[in-house]
Amino acid sequence: MSPDDVFKSVRKEYARGALLEESAAADPFTQFQTWFDAALVAGSEEPNACALATTGKDLQPSVRMVLLKSFNDKGFIFYTNYLSQKGRQIAENPLVTLLFYWPSLERQIRIEGRCEQVSSHEADAYFASRPRGSQLGAAVSHQSEVAESRGVIDDAYAELERQSGDTPVKRPAHWGGYRAVPTEFEFWQGRESRLHDRLRYSKHGDVWEIDRLWP
């Protein structure tokens, strides 16, 4: 089978649902909660996984998968090393985009907004809730920097584990959380003939306005 035939063979129609204005919540956070809950019920693998797009001062976009750890009407929180590539880019340009995709439901949610660091109290509380291995991993990692080998990484982890013994692992000052504060949401529901439903929520003052976008 040729490469072109492979791509033709994986083409599918979307017909699992619809997203209409009369059934959509007036508040985008409520609509997000509804769809997120549906992804949980559907058994989606890591439903809190999302793509995070950032751009630094060089204007070169960068994207990677992160895990959403909490959200409310103030924003969407994820955690990382502040000195990583994403951390450096956010420091230069706090505007980001998140993209959630649940293929079994034929749904996407795109969220545009501005990142801000969470408080030290929030970061400490979340860090303390992590498995000890993840705490050690965060403490030892020079995220996004060049490593000479896998062995160097494993040795650094083992040494920190030995030094720590049974004492609690302290959250590194360079590790913490970001809250993406939304200015725009787009909810996408796959439809037949590629005539997908796209509802955009844009914030104007304290009011969220809903527009339907052409697919």
Looking at the annotation, which residues are catalytic?
194
- Cα torsion 178, 47, 102, 137: sign: positive
Backbone angles phi, psi at 196, to 5 degrees: -65, 150
Q: Which residue carries 């003939």 as its tokens?
A: 193
- Tokens matching residue 108: 């996407």
Q: Is the distance from CB of 35 to CB of 187 less than 8 angstroms?
A: yes
Question: Which of 113, 127, 137 shows the shortest CA–CA distance to 53?
Answer: 113
Sign of CA dihedral 196, 37, 70, 137: negative
